[in-house]
Every structure is written in C-alpha cells, then in structure tokens.
Amino acid sequence: MMSVNLAPSNQNIKGFNWSEVDQIEQGSPITQRVVKIIRNLIIEGVLEAGEKLPNEPELADTFKVSRSTIRTTLQTLEKEGFINRRRGIGTFVSDEPIKINNLNLNWGVTKVIESTGAIPGTEEILISDRLASPRVAKRLNFSQESQVCVVERVRTANGKRVVLSVDFFPWETPHSSFKNISHAEIEKFLVEHQSVYQLLSHYFGLEIHHALAWISPLTANGLMAEKLQIPLGSEMLYIEQVDFLSDGTAVVLADEYHVGNAFTFSLYRSN
C-alpha cells in the first residue's frame, strides 16, 4: 500500500483544507490537538480505510511536534480503534474506522450519523421554554426556578429516522446569555447545521470539552414509536449525557433515544 502524504505543503489533500489545522483547539494540549486532527482526517475520509500513515519522523515533521508527541498520539488513536500498528511494517487506518462509534469519544448525534457515511437530517423540530425539572436542575447544577431552552427533534440518517433527541440548555450561564437569540434563529441554524455543539460555538464561542454519559436499554413507548416510526416495544438504546466546558461548567443535558439497530458502538477498556 502507498503511504499517505500529509505534508502541509499540499494545501488541499482530497478536500481537506490545511488552513483549518491551526484553528483546532488552540488552547488544548498539543497531543490532544494532533489526535483530533488525524481523527478528523479519518472520519472525513481523507485518510481512507487500509491506508498507510507516514512514519513517526515524517508525522513529527508535518505537525512540527516531537516524536514522543506523535508516539502518544498514535497510541491514543490505536486505543480508540482508528488505526492499527503492525510491528516492522507500519501504521494503517483501520479497515472500518468510521462505522463503529467509540463510546470513549464525545460525539454528538450529528457526528455519529456522519461517521456511518450517512447524511444527517432533522425532522419535527420543536423548541420551547420550560422551568427546569429536578433532574435537569441537578444535572446542569442550577435551581429549579431557572428557565431552560428545550430542543426536541427527530434525527435522520439518509432520511431514515434513527434518534429522538431532547436537548436542554439554560438561558443564562456564567459565560453567556442565550436570550439574545430567538427560537426561530435556533431552529433555522439547527436545520441548516444540525449540531447543538456548532450552535453553541457559532453564537457564543462555547466549546464542549468533555461529557458524562449514562447508557441503558429500554423499549419504545407510544411517543417514541410514533416519532421514530418503529413498532411499539422495539428495543432501543437510551443515552443521557451532560456536556461541560473546560472549566467544568455544565451547559447541555441531552436525552437521546436511539433505534436499536441504527448504530454499532464500541468501548475501549483497559486495566
């Protein structure tokens, strides 16, 4: 197999714009940045399944980092299942690196759908204001008297209904006020761009740093069956997730109800 050329002198490699590299998590540790760049190259298909990566010295030169940084980067990507390292031969993109979603990674529904090669879409979007319930207030760490914006929608993959999602975020945080945008603006943005993460970044400069998730099986009730167009009692996967900024501020609570056979997830575990 031919080795992939990642040299930044090639300003456009299969549609990947190298001018974006310096914009990725400038404030984060350098290893984390390089991991994210290579991971994105794989997810976007710039680095294709089975392709051989440049060797460690070449990667170090490409990203202008030390070989130890590259070594740690490759170890991380291998643990996540994106690459395979063959002693004496080289490092290769995994055969199916984007068809299995690694639960160690904080991917929103949009990225999960894209990782399967499908086009994400939104149907039946409903945006409302509510007083925070005890659960929402506890997860987002504020009083029940606070108002939250609630975004309910059906997420689709190539037009097929795969996830019913409900996102809660407070109108006021220590970092921003969501009151500056209307429901109509939120709906328009999400229909065009799909991602709540992109919404937070675009309007408020908020970048999600990490998340906590609770995962459990369940069966579809009447509402889920109707929204997702599946039989009543179908097996589903429920993910409750809280997204945090780098300083630990909780900004989004998401309830995701996944159609049982829509995605395959993997989980890396070690001692």
Q: What is the pLDDT of residue 267?
A: 58
The answer to whether residue 51 scores a pLDDT higher than 50 is: yes
Domains and CATH numbers, the chain: 12-93 (1.10.10.10), 101-266 (3.40.1410.10)
pLDDT > 90 in the chain, percent: 33
Q: What is the pLDDT of residue 79?
A: 78
Average pLDDT, the chain: 80
pLDDT band (50, 70, 90) for residue 5? very low
Buried b (16+ CB within 10 A) or exposed e, 29-64: eebebbbbbbbbbbbeebbeeebbbbebeebbebbe
Q: For 193-229, write each residue's pLDDT tens digit.
A: 888 888 888 888 888 888 888 989 999 999 999 999 9
Query: Which value, to the nearest 10 degrees, does the dihedral of the CA atoms of residues 136, 140, 142, 148 take?
Result: -60
Tell me the DSSP string of 10-35: SSEETTEEGGGGGGS-TTS-HHHHHH
The answer to whether residue 4 scores a pLDDT higher than 50 is: no
pLDDT band (50, 70, 90) for residue 27? very low
Exposed / middle / buried, residue 255 (Cβ in 10 Å: 0-12, 13-18, 19+): middle
Q: For 134-186, write each residue's pLDDT tens digit.
A: 999 999 888 777 888 899 999 999 899 999 999 998 877 666 666 678 889 99
Q: Over range 184-192, report the average pLDDT.
A: 91
Instruction: Give ∠ CA 236-242-246 in degrees, rounded to 5.
Output: 145
Q: What is the pLDDT of residue 88?
A: 86
Q: For 89-148, write each residue's pLDDT tens digit.
A: 899 998 765 444 555 555 678 878 877 778 889 999 999 998 889 999 999 888 777 888
Q: For 31-42, write each residue's pLDDT tens digit.
A: 888 888 888 788
Q: What is the pLDDT of residue 106?
A: 55
